[in-house]
Structure formats: C-alpha cells, structure tokens
Chain A
Amino acid sequence: MILVENLKVTFKTPSTDIEALGGVSFRVEAGEICAVIGPSGCGKSTLLYVLAGLLAGFEGKAVVNGEPVKRGRRKTALILQDYGLLPWRNVFENAALGLELRGLPRSEQVAKVAPILDELGLREMQRLYPAQLSGGQRQRVAIARVLALNPDLLLMDEPFSSLDALTRETLQDNVLEIWRRTGCTVVLVTHSIEEATFLGRQVVVLSPRPGQVVATCKNAGAGETSWRRDPQFHKVCSFLREQLAGGTG
C-alpha cells in the first residue's frame, strides 16, 4: 500500500539548506495502522506531507497503492492538529466540504454526512461554528469530513496532541473503530509514545533531524481498545522509549 524508499527532503532557505529527512525507508501494508514517532523537528510532518502529495520537491521514492504520490489523490485523507476546519463554516458545512468540492448536490451531501455526524456524536452540533466547539469536538468534525470521502488512506499529523488525556483516549478509540469498520490504511504521526503504542500495529521510530529510521517494530497487540490496559502495552512503551533515547544519544 505505502512504500517509502530512501526519501530525502531538503528545505532551501536563503541562508542555508535544512535537511528535514535524510533517507527514510519503510512500507505499510494495505489496511494496517502505522505510527511514526520521533523527537520534534525530526521531519515526521514533512513525511506526512509527502505522502499526502502536498510536498513535491523530494528525492527517493514515495508510492501509494502502486502509484507515485501526487497532489489531489482522491482517496487520501489528511487530518492536521489545528486549522483543519474553516471557521466560517458550521459543523455540517465543514463536514460536507470535500463532497461539495467534488460537486455533489446538497441532498447527497446530507445523505452521506448525516450518518457520520450521528456516529461521531455531532448531530446536535450541526449548526455550530468551530469556535463554539471544544478541541475534541473540532477534531471529530475533521474526522467526519474525511470519512465522508470514503478514503482508503488516512494520514494524521499529531491529531490529538492538543487535547486533554480523556478526550484523547476517546478519539483514539474512535480512530480504531473507523479503522476496523472501513479497513483503510492509517499513517499517524505522533510524538506521544503511548499513542504510537496504542494505535500503531507497526511503529516507525525516527531519529532527530535529519530524520532517519532508527527502528521499525511490529506491535501486534494494537488494534483493540483493551490493549491500553494490557501489561504488555507498557513493555512496548518502554522499548520505544529506549529506541528514541538511543536515537538522541
């Protein structure tokens, strides 16, 4: 499903060139959840931008579903930490934005979006603006918006890092449910070891900038909500912590 080979990204600034990714390789099978973890500034977001087709100038290979990444792949969905929602559109209009952009008539937008809003508990908030929602509700709208498009690849950039612990866990559970129901491939970038361990059935650990793969580990326990309370869960967390520390030292 996803194949990244020797991916290098360098940002050119007037004074100097900054190497964000220094040759990253990994693969994610279709229908898997992969968490990418690493220290801040290691280029994790850059990696996601490449996969989303939003960043063109890179070296190496980035393939989604057998095709090189390109802008505007319709089955790729992206969820960012902030700013994802348009402040001047209410919950429904935000959730239906992707469908509107694809030219669907209003009645079909309602037919597709309403059940998703129901599922995510947003039905009563349809007419509220993002400013009237809590952080967790806003991120749920962002999820609803991409679900309406039936994606086969869900890319998430630190989606829950600005939320409180309880809300974060609820939303992580939501992601698992969606993943199980839709069978889409998920790539989640995070700096939280617990989040990577809970969601990532495969965890890619990146080194500080320029990001390189320190370790890729299978984490078969992930994918169930009960995994969080499993004694094994904490062992995986410790293992990842060591990998991250090794990367810095």
Chain B
Amino acid sequence: MMRRWISTIIAVLVLLVFWMILAAVIDKPALPQPFKAFAVFFRELPGLLWRHLLVSTYRVLAGIALAVLTAVPFGLYMGRNAGADRFAAPLVYLVYPIPKIVLLPVIMVLLGLGDSAKIFLITLVLFFQVLIPVRDSSRHVPRALVDSVTSLGAGKWAIYRHVIWPSVLPEVLTALRVASGTAIAVLFFAETIACQEGLGYYLMDAWTRYAYEEMFAGIIAMGLLGFAIYTVLEFLEHRLCAWKYV
C-alpha cells in the first residue's frame, strides 16, 4: 500500500515537472505555470469551484450507475440467449459507432436543459461500452461450470446469480474504468452547451474570459474527478474480485 502511494506521488511530480518545462518553453498566458494554476485551484475550491465539482460528480456518477443498471441485465440476457442476441446484435452494432454526442440537441429537446439530459447522454455512451464486454464474457462462461452448478440444484436465476454474474463482474469493472475517462469527456461537452453549472461550464466560462489560470484550475478538478472514480473502481475490484488477486 505504502509503495503505491509513493509511486502515485512520483507520477504526479513527474507530470508537474513536465508541465513546468512545457509552460516555460511556450511562455504564453494560455499555459500558466502549474503553481499558479494550483494557487487558483485552492483559492477557488472552497467556493464556486467546489459547487461545480459536486454538480459534475453527481452527473458522472448518476450516468455510470444508470449505465450499469441498464447495460448489465441486457448484456447478460444477450450473452446467454442466442435467439435474443441474433436480433439485438445487429441493432447494437448499428448504433454503437454513432457518436452519441451528436444526439445532444435531440436529448435536450426531449429532456430539457437540466441534469437529466446530461446524465442521459453519459448513460447512452457508457451503455454500449458496458453492454458489449458483459455480453461477450457472459457468453464465454464455461458450459461445464453451468452444468455442474445446475446439477447441485440451481435454477435459472441461481445460475445468473452464482455463476454468470460473478464471472462477468471483473469485466464490468474493467469496462467502467476504461469508460470513466470517456464519461468525463462527454460530460465536459454536455456542460459547455446551454449550461450554468458544472466543471464544463466553469472551464468554458474561464476560457471565454481568457482567465487561463482559472481554466487550468478547472482542468485540475476534472483530472482529480477522473482519478477519484478510477481509484474507487480499482478499490471495488480488489474488494469484490478478491479471488483474482490471490
């Protein structure tokens, strides 16, 4: 544990040094020195920035939660029912490559300009990123494993609960870790359009005022948000999938 903290700190220091050098070489207001950005970050954090960070955190977490709650059952069902999969797979692969953010105008018309439109957009993007690994991994659960647990008296639900779900869970957490970066990028985009709250708004607002140090304070907040989500997911994986780490 200690070692991991040390390596995390070293990684952050390396990033900061790289940033300092780059800022010194470029020497333009658009890329302020990190200590200036951090000074603004800590000055702003107790007030406005904290509020924007909370709003964004809420939206990302709600989006992730909804995506998991919808994509996991769908993915499990598609993976375990060849008939359903034959019908749904072409549909999924047709919709998957469409960049969902182009649907934002439609979503805003339907759901308004509030939180629900932004959460829905994140859910929509993550849905597919969770659905496909869940479907694939649930399909590849060894048949002998299902058979042997069936022979112990497990019905259909018990098989999902005791065999399919636990074997898919690591895939879900990995997919979420990969998708958490995408979720924040999508959130940023959604928050820059017709929006008064959230890190995306904070960033764009600073940008239009040429307040680059504030802008970077927002970028730092966004980075920390991503890092926090990633850390929580990794913690969950170690907790819930302890058997993978023995």
CB < 8 Å neighbour of A98 from B144, B153, B163: B153
Choose among B149, B152, B241 the residue that contacts A88 (Cβ–Cβ < 8 A). B241
Minimum Cβ distance to chain B for residue A153 (Å): 11
For the complex, give the distance between the alpha carbons of A98 and B154 in Å: 8
A residues near B163, Cβ cutoff 8 Å: 86
Please name the residue on chain B nearest to A130 by beta carbon.
B243
For B151, the closest partner residue in chain A by CB is A78
Contact (Cβ within 8 A) A74 B246: no
Q: Give CA–CA (A102, B152) in the complex, Å.
A: 9
Complex Cα–Cα for A183 and B174 (A): 48
0/1 string, B155-196, CB within 8 A of A gives 1: 100100011001100000000000000000000000000000
B14 within 8 A of A: no
Question: Are B153 and A83 neighbours in the complex by a CB distance under 8 Å?
Answer: no
Known: A72-B153, A88-B167, A97-B149. A83 touches B142 (CB 8 A): yes
**Chain B residues in 8 Å Cβ range of A54:** 147, 150-151
Contacts of A132 in B (CB 8 A): 246
Chain A min CB distance to B50 (Å): 39
Residue of A nearest to B143 (CB): A83
Q: Does B148 contact A (CB under 8 A)?
A: yes
Chain B residues contacting A179 (CB-CB under 8 Å) are none
B145 at the interface (CB under 8 A from A): yes
- Binary interface encoding of chain A residues 47-81 relative to chain B, with 1 for a CB under 8 A from any of its CBs, else 0: 00100111000000000000000011010111110
| Cross-chain contact B152 with A97 (CB below 8 angstroms) | yes
What is the CA–CA distance of A53 and B151 in the complex, to the nearest angstrom?
A: 8
Contact across chains for A80 and B153 when beta carbons are under 8 A apart: no
CA distance A142 to B147 in the complex (A): 13
Give 1 or 0 for each of A141-158: 1 = CB within 8 Å of chain B CB: 010011001000000000
A86 and B151 in contact (CB under 8 A), knowing A101-B158, A129-B246? no
Query: What is the total number of residues of chain B having a CB less than 8 Å from a CB of chain A?
Result: 21
Distance from A108 Cβ to chain B, minimum over Cβ atoms (Å): 16
Contacts of A53 in B (CB 8 A): 151
B144 & A83 in contact (Cβ 8 Å cutoff)? yes
> Residue on A with the closest CB to B163?
A86
Q: How far is the CA of A80 from the CA of B203 in the complex (A)?
A: 59
Q: Does A84 contact B (CB under 8 A)?
A: yes
Docked pose: A77 CA to B163 CA in angstroms: 18
Whole-angstrom CA separation of A147 from B149 in the bound complex: 14
A80 touches B167 (CB 8 A): no
The reply to whether B246 and A101 form a contact with Cβ atoms under 8 Å apart is: no
Do B243 and A88 have beta carbons less than 8 Å apart? yes
Whether B144 and A86, one on each chain, are in contact in the complex, defined by CB atoms closer than 8 angstroms, is no
A131 adjacent to chain B (CB < 8 Å):
yes
B153 with A86: CB separation less than 8 A: no
Provide the bound-state CA to CA distance between A132 and B142, in Å: 20
Closest to A82 in B: B144
* Apart from A84-B144, A84-B148: 20 A-B pairs, beta carbons within 8 A: A54-B147, A71-B150, A72-B150, A72-B155, A77-B152, A78-B151, A80-B147, A80-B148, A83-B144, A86-B145, A86-B162, A86-B166, A88-B166, A88-B243, A97-B149, A98-B153, A101-B153, A101-B154, A131-B243, A131-B246
B contact residues vs A (CB 8 Å cutoff):
142, 144-145, 147-155, 158, 162-163, 166-167, 241-243, 246
Q: Which residues of chain A have a CB within 8 Å of any CB of chain B?
A: 49, 52-54, 71-72, 74, 76-80, 82-84, 86-90, 97-98, 101-102, 128-129, 131-132, 142, 145-146, 149
Q: 5 A–B contact pairs at CB < 8 A? A: A54-B151, A86-B149, A86-B163, A101-B154, A149-B153
